[in-house]
């Protein structure tokens, strides 16, 4: 993950991140495991959405241009417990209930860079999204129709809760208390303030701000709200050359550090049994068993993402070094079993809409995976022109590789 440290608007950062989001070899971004569809596995990647309906026996995919309806890159995928999915991308948000037909959201979110989205674990029709205008500011928008349309902002820059020169960065709804919502802010590099954690106990009608006291240039994202305790939040803090996992157990009033490995953390999940997992792209895997006080460090995959369902942990790896793009562990990281390499994808989804729209893209993806000289990557996710502006597109490309991993039941 070279040169992709935080979502700061400094010129050096943007230059460093100037390549397209899909300018690197195809990789995984997030794994989604819907509780209500126990055979379904969804893998968000830099070239589209990879899908298995038979627990990993076979795999197909949906290319990015089809699901976004544009040439813009997906930054975050989120799946509901019932398997419905939303994709936040650089110019809107798209949603689907069948993975074949995708609808671009209308209303206040249209044309904005959608940086994050979250589906209410208790109500798939309720979706929150963070959207950025082209120049400055940010808004937290709500949908009550599964992400098809969005109304007025629940929270926005230039209010007492979010300073005028701040942006919103991440959002999550507590699984155990749907009225509890958390969001984080991003302070500009020129500001004297630092990132903050915002908490609402009434579904976004009112908010309490907690200053986090992190490094002035630090990026703070919600790694996960504890599924059993709405007052416990795990935060990914990225500053300088290293990441930390920090935690609040009182809704934001106090913060403590749980893990500081002095490297980049590329995945985190609080499992259903209470165990905590984290990993790095350099191959370190960290496990804190239920009731334990410290993390155990183990050799693991060159991690891109983590997820968990029914005690099984799913980890995105690097096929070139790990021999797989997705693997599972049932023994808390002591061993990993390959589940997928992207060369196993048999083609686009069989429904006519996807099969037709993604045929050419799949052929190019195959050439890329085979290492054909000059083939380049699949055409999915090429940034387009129009709204957003050049700097925002460069920033989005960087954030695409720096999203948080989904936690338990964040699917």
Report the mean per-residue pLDDT for the chain. 86
Percentage of the chain with pLDDT > 90? Answer: 74
* Residue 10 confidence (pLDDT): 28
* Residue 185 confidence (pLDDT): 95
**Dihedral angle over CA of 115, 326, 270, 120, nearest 10:** 40
The mean per-residue pLDDT over the stretch 58-69 comes to 96
**Is residue 81 scored above 60 in pLDDT?**
yes
**Is residue 90 scored above 80 in pLDDT?**
yes
In 3D space, the residue among 140, 146, 79 whose CA is nearest the CA of residue 115 turns out to be 140
In 3D space, the residue among 159, 173, 175 whose CA is nearest the CA of residue 117 turns out to be 173
* Residue 124 confidence (pLDDT): 95
97 by Cβ neighbours in 10 Å (0-12 / 13-18 / 19+) ranks as middle
DSSP-assigned letters across all residues of 242-311:
EEEEEEESSTTS--EEEE--SS-EEEEEE-TTS-EEEEETTSEEEEE-TT-SSPEEEE----SEEEEETT
pLDDT tens-digit readout, 223-282: 999 999 999 999 999 987 789 999 999 999 999 999 999 899 999 999 999 999 999 999
pLDDT tens-digit readout, 195-207: 999 999 999 999 9
The mean per-residue pLDDT over the stretch 129-148 comes to 94
The pairing of strands 106-107 and 149-150 is parallel
CA angle 72, 74, 77 (to 5 degrees): 160
Positive or negative: CA dihedral 253, 257, 259, 260: positive
pLDDT tens-digit readout, 362-406: 999 999 998 744 444 444 434 443 434 444 544 554 454 444 444
What is the pTM assigned to this prediction? 0.88
Percentage of the chain with pLDDT > 70? Answer: 83
* Residue 399 confidence (pLDDT): 53
Higher-confidence position of 327 and 136: 327
pLDDT tens-digit readout, 285-300: 999 999 999 999 999 9
The mean per-residue pLDDT over the stretch 334-345 comes to 97
Higher-confidence position of 216 and 213: 213
The mean per-residue pLDDT over the stretch 118-141 comes to 94
* Residue 239 confidence (pLDDT): 83
- DSSP alpha helices (H): ranges in 51-150? 64-68
pLDDT tens-digit readout, 6-36: 232 222 222 223 323 334 468 899 999 999 9
* Separation of first and last alpha carbons in the chain: 24
Q: Is residue 363 a contact partner of residue 346, using CB atoms and an 8 Å limit?
A: no
Selecting from 2.60.120.10, 3.20.20.70, 2.40.50.140, 2.120.10.30, what CATH number does the domain 11-265+346-400 have?
2.120.10.30
Q: Is 60 helix (H, G, I), strand (E, B) or coil?
A: strand
**Is residue 337 scored above 60 in pLDDT?**
yes
């Amino acid at each position: 993950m070279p040169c992709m440290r935080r979502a700061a608007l400094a010129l050096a950062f943007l230059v460093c991140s100037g390549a397209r989001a899909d300018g690197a070899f195809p990789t995984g971004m997030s794994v989604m495991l819907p509780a209500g569809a126990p055979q379904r596995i969804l893998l968000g990647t830099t070239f589209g959405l990879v899908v298995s309906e038979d627990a990993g026996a076979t795999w197909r995919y949906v290319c990015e241009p089809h699901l976004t309806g544009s040439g813009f890159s997906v930054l975050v995928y989120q799946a509901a417990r019932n398997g419905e999915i939303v994709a936040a991308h650089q110019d809107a948000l798209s949603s689907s209930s069948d993975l074949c037909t995708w609808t671009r959201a209308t209303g206040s979110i249209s044309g904005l860079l959608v940086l994050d989205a979250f589906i209410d674990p208790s109500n798939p029709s309720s979706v929150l999204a963070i959207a950025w205008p082209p120049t400055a500011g940010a808004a937290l928008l709500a949908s009550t129709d599964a992400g098809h349309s969005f109304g007025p902002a629940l929270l926005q820059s230039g209010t007492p809760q979010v300073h005028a020169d701040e942006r919103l960065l991440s959002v999550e709804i507590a699984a155990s208390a749907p009225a509890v919502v958390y969001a984080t802010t991003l302070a500009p590099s020129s500001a004297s303030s630092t990132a903050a954690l915002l908490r609402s106990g009434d579904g976004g009608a009112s908010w309490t701000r907690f200053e986090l006291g992190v490094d002035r240039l630090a990026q703070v994202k919600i790694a996960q709200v504890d599924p059993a305790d709405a007052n416990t939040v795990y935060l990914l803090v990225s500053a300088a050359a290293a990441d930390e996992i920090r935690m609040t157990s009182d809704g934001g009033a106090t913060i403590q550090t749980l893990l500081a490995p002095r490297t980049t953390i590329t995945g985190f999940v609080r499992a259903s049994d209470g165990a905590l997992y984290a990993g790095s792209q350099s191959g370190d895997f960290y496990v804190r068993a239920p009731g334990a006080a410290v993390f155990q460090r183990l050799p693991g995959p060159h991690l891109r993402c983590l997820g968990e369902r029914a005690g099984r942990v799913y980890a995105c790896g690097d096929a070139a070094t790990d021999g797989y793009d997705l693997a599972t562990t049932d023994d808390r990281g002591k061993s990993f079993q390959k589940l997928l390499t992207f060369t196993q994808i048999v083609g686009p989804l069989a429904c006519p809409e996807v099969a037709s729209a993604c045929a050419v893209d799949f052929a190019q993806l195959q050439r890329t995976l085979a290492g054909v000289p000059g083939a380049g990557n699949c055409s999915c996710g090429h940034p387009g022109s129009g709204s957003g502006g050049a700097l925002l597109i460069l920033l989005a490309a960087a954030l695409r590789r720096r999203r948080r991993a989904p936690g338990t039941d964040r699917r």
